[in-house]
C-alpha cells in the first residue's frame, strides 16, 4: 500500500485523482449508510449516491493512469526506486481497479434502474412533475411505470429518452422550461407500440352503464342524474367492429389533419373502413376536398384516452363527486356554486388549505348562514375542497384548471363528430347521440330507470 501511495504521489494529477476517488468513495459510503439507517430518503440523495458520486470516483480513477502517463519520466525513476518489489505494486493497482470497476458497474446498473423508476420520474424535478405524479397515483395506471408509456420498450427508445431527459435536466437546472409543460402529443410513440404492450385493441367491451350524479348551482343544490349506456363496443368474434372502439380495429384507419398545435381544430378526416372503402370528410364549407396544410396523424388510443395517466378534474365534476359521496354535505345552501367559485380563486399552495377554509367560512358568515349547526359542515366541506384544489392546482408550474382537457368527452369527439363534417356524397359524419351512447335519462331528478336497474341513488 505504501508503495502504491508513493507511486501515485509521483505527480499532481494522479494525486488529485486519488484524492477525488477517496473523498467521493467515503461520501458515497456515508450516504449509503445514512439511507439504510433511514435518515435521509430524498430523491436528490439517491441521485448523489447512485450517479454523481460514482461519476466523481470514475473521474478520479481515470486521472491516476492519465497522470502516470503524462509524467512517465518521473514514473520511471520511481519504479526504479521501488524495483525491489515491483510485482506487488502491479497487483495492488490491478486489485483496486477491478474492485472499483465492479463497484461502479453495480452503481451504474442501480442508477439506470433508478432513473426508470416512478420515484425518479415523479419526484426528482418535483416542481415540474408534481401535477402528473399526483394525478398518476390515483389513476387506473398507478401500478405501472412512467416509462411504460413515455419511453416504451427497445434500446432505441431508451437512448432517445435519455438524450431528451438530459435536455430536460439542463432546462430544470437553468430554469429554462415551459410553464405549463406542453403535452408530449408530438413526441409520444404510437399507441400501437406503447398501449398495446398491455391492451388488446380488439377486445369487445360491449356496453357500460355510466351514472353521473350532478348538482345545480342553486340554493338547495338540486340534484339530477345523467344515465348513459356507453357503446364502447370493440371487435365481435366475427371480426366486425362496432361502437366507439370501432376506431381501434386493426383493419380500420382514421387519418386526420389538425391545423393547430393542440389538435383542437380538425378540418379534414380520411377513413378506410374494414371493407377497404375510403371516405373523406371535410368541415362543412371547406373550399376543397384536398388535405389542408397541417399535421397529418393516424388516430390512436391517445386521441381519446389522452389523460389515461394523469386525469385532472373539472372543478364542477370534482365537487359533484364529493357531494354524491357524502364527503361534502348537500345540506349546506349553495355549496355547489360557492364550492366551485372558491376552487377557481387564485392562491398559493403552502397556505391553500387555510385560505380555502377562511374564504368559505367568510362566505357563509357574510350570508348569515354560519351557526353552530352549519359550522362543522362548512369546516368539513373546506377540507374536501382543499383536497380537490391541492390535487389539481400547481401555480408554480402554471398548472391551473382546464389546462389539459380530457378528449374522451364531447369536446374531444365533436372535433370530428360535430355534425359539420361531410363526405363526398354530402353524408354527415355521424353525430347521432345513439351512435356513441344511449341516453337513458338526462337531467332528471330521480330517473325511474335507476329503480328499474336496481341502482337507485346513483351508487
Closest to ligand HEC by CB, 238 vs 366, is 238
Q: Is 149 in the site for ligand HEC (CB under 6 A)?
A: yes
The nearest distance, CB 310 to ligand HEC, in angstroms, is 5
Closest to ligand HEC by CB, 303 vs 313, is 303
The nearest distance, CB 93 to ligand HEC, in angstroms, is 44
Closest to ligand HEC by CB, 336 vs 417, is 417
Closest to ligand HEC by CB, 54 vs 339, is 339
Q: How far apart are CA 396 and CA 349, in angstroms?
A: 9
List 68, 228, 324, 360, residue binding ligand HEC (CB under 6 A): 228
Q: How far apart are CA 232 and CA 242, in angstroms?
A: 8
Q: Is 134 in the site for ligand HEC (CB under 6 A)?
A: no
Return the closest-CA partner of residue 121 out of 60, 168, 71.
Answer: 168
Of 55-114, binders to ligand HEC (CB under 6 A) are: none
List 148, 217, 274, 353, residue binding ligand HEC (CB under 6 A): 148
Return the closest-CA partner of residue 90 out of 11, 4, 2, 13.
Answer: 4
Return the closest-CA partner of residue 263 out of 416, 396, 129.
Answer: 416
Of 259-278, binders to ligand HEC (CB under 6 A) are: 266, 269, 271, 273
Q: Long-range contacts: 161-169, Cβ < 8 Å, 24+?
A: 162/115, 165/115, 168/125, 169/125
Q: Is 216 in the site for ligand HEC (CB under 6 A)?
A: no
CB 332 within 8 A of CB 374: yes
Of 415-444, binders to ligand HEC (CB under 6 A) are: 415-417, 429-431, 433, 435-437, 439, 442
CB 8 within 8 A of CB 18: yes
List 4, 114, 133, 268, residue binding ligand HEC (CB under 6 A): 133
Span from 78-86, 153-161, 167-175, 302-310 in contact with ligand HEC (CB under 6 A):
302-310
Q: Is 183 in the site for ligand HEC (CB under 6 A)?
A: yes
Neighbours of 304 (CB within 10 A): 19
CA angle 261, 264, 268 (to 5 degrees): 100
Q: Return the C-alpha torsion angle 331, 345, 404, 132, nearest 10.
A: -90
Q: Read off φ and ψ for residue 139, nearest 5 degrees.
A: -95, 170
Of 368-407, binders to ligand HEC (CB under 6 A) are: 404
The nearest distance, CB 398 to ligand HEC, in angstroms, is 11
Neighbours of 357 (CB within 10 A): 18
CB 227 within 8 A of CB 440: yes
- Name residue, grid cell 381544430: 265
Of 282-301, binders to ligand HEC (CB under 6 A) are: 299-301
Closest to ligand HEC by CB, 100 vs 168, is 168
Closest to ligand HEC by CB, 266 vs 328, is 266
Q: Is 169 in the site for ligand HEC (CB under 6 A)?
A: no
Neighbours of 51 (CB within 10 A): 17
Closest to ligand HEC by CB, 244 vs 381, is 244
Q: Is 245 in the site for ligand HEC (CB under 6 A)?
A: yes
Q: Is 199 in the site for ligand HEC (CB under 6 A)?
A: yes
Q: Is 319 in the site for ligand HEC (CB under 6 A)?
A: no
Amino acid at each position: 500500500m505504501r508503495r502504491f501511495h508513493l507511486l501515485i504521489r509521483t505527480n499532481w494529477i494522479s494525486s488529485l485523482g486519488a484524492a477525488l476517488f477517496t473523498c467521493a468513495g467515503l461520501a458515497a459510503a456515508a450516504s449509503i449508510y445514512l439511507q439504510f439507517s433511514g435518515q435521509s430518503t430524498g430523491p436528490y440523495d439517491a441521485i448523489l449516491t447512485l450517479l454523481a458520486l460514482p461519476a466523481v470516483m470514475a473521474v478520479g480513477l481515470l486521472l491516476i493512469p492519465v497522470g502516470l502517463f503524462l509524467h512517465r519520466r518521473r514514473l520511471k525513476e520511481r519504479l526504479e526506486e521501488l524495483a525491489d518489489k515491483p510485482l506487488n505494486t502491479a497487483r495492488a493497482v490491478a486489485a483496486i481497479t477491478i474492485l472499483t470497476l465492479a463497484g461502479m458497474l453495480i452503481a451504474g446498473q442501480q442508477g439506470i434502474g433508478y432513473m426508470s423508476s416512478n420515484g425518479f420520474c415523479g419526484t426528482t424535478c418535483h416542481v415540474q412533475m408534481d401535477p402528473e405524479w399526483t394525478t398518476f397515483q390515483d389513476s387506473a395506471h398507478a401500478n405501472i411505470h412512467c416509462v411504460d408509456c413515455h419511453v416504451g420498450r427497445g434500446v432505441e427508445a431508451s437512448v432517445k429518452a435519455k438524450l431528451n431527459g438530459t435536455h430536460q435536466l439542463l432546462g430544470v437546472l437553468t430554469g429554462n422550461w415551459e410553464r405549463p409543460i406542453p403535452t408530449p402529443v408530438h413526441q409520444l410513440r404510437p399507441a400501437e407500440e406503447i398501449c398495446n404492450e398491455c391492451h388488446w385493441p380488439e377486445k369487445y367491451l360491449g356496453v357500460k352503464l355510466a351514472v353521473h350524479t350532478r348538482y345545480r348551482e342553486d340554493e338547495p343544490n338540486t340534484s339530477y342524474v345523467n344515465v348513459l349506456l356507453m357503446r364502447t363496443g370493440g371487435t365481435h368474434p366475427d371480426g366486425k367492429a362496432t361502437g366507439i372502439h370501432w376506431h381501434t380495429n386493426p383493419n380500420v384507419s382514421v387519418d386526420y389533419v389538425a391545423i393547430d398545435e393542440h389538435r383542437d381544430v380538425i378540418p379534414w378526416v380520411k377513413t378506410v373502413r374494414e371493407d377497404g372503402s375510403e371516405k373523406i370528410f371535410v368541415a362543412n364549407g371547406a373550399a376543397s376536398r384536398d388535405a389542408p396544410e397541417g399535421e397529418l396523424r393516424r388516430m390512436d388510443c391517445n386521441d381519446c384516452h389522452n389523460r389515461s395517466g394523469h386525469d385532472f378534474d373539472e372543478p364542477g365534476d370534482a365537487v359533484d363527486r364529493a357531494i354524491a359521496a357524502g364527503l361534502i354535505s348537500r345540506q349546506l345552501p349553495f355549496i355547489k356554486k360557492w364550492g366551485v367559485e372558491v376552487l377557481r380563486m387564485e392562491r398559493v399552495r403552502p397556505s391553500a388549505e387555510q385560505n380555502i377554509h377562511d374564504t368559505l367560512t367568510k362566505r357563509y358568515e357574510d350570508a348569515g348562514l354560519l351557526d353552530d349547526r352549519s359550522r362543522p359542515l362548512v369546516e368539513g366541506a373546506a377540507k374536501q375542497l382543499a383536497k380537490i384544489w391541492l390535487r389539481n392546482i400547481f401555480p408554480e408550474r402554471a398548472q391551473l384548471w382546464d389546462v389539459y382537457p380530457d378528449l374522451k368527452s364531447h369536446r374531444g369527439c365533436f372535433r370530428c363528430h360535430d355534425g359539420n363534417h361531410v363526405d363526398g356524397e354530402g353524408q354527415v359524419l355521424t353525430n347521432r347521440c345513439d351512435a356513441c351512447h344511449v341516453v337513458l335519462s338526462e337531467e332528471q331528478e330521480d330517473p325511474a330507470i335507476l329503480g328499474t336497474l336496481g341502482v337507485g341513488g346513483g351508487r
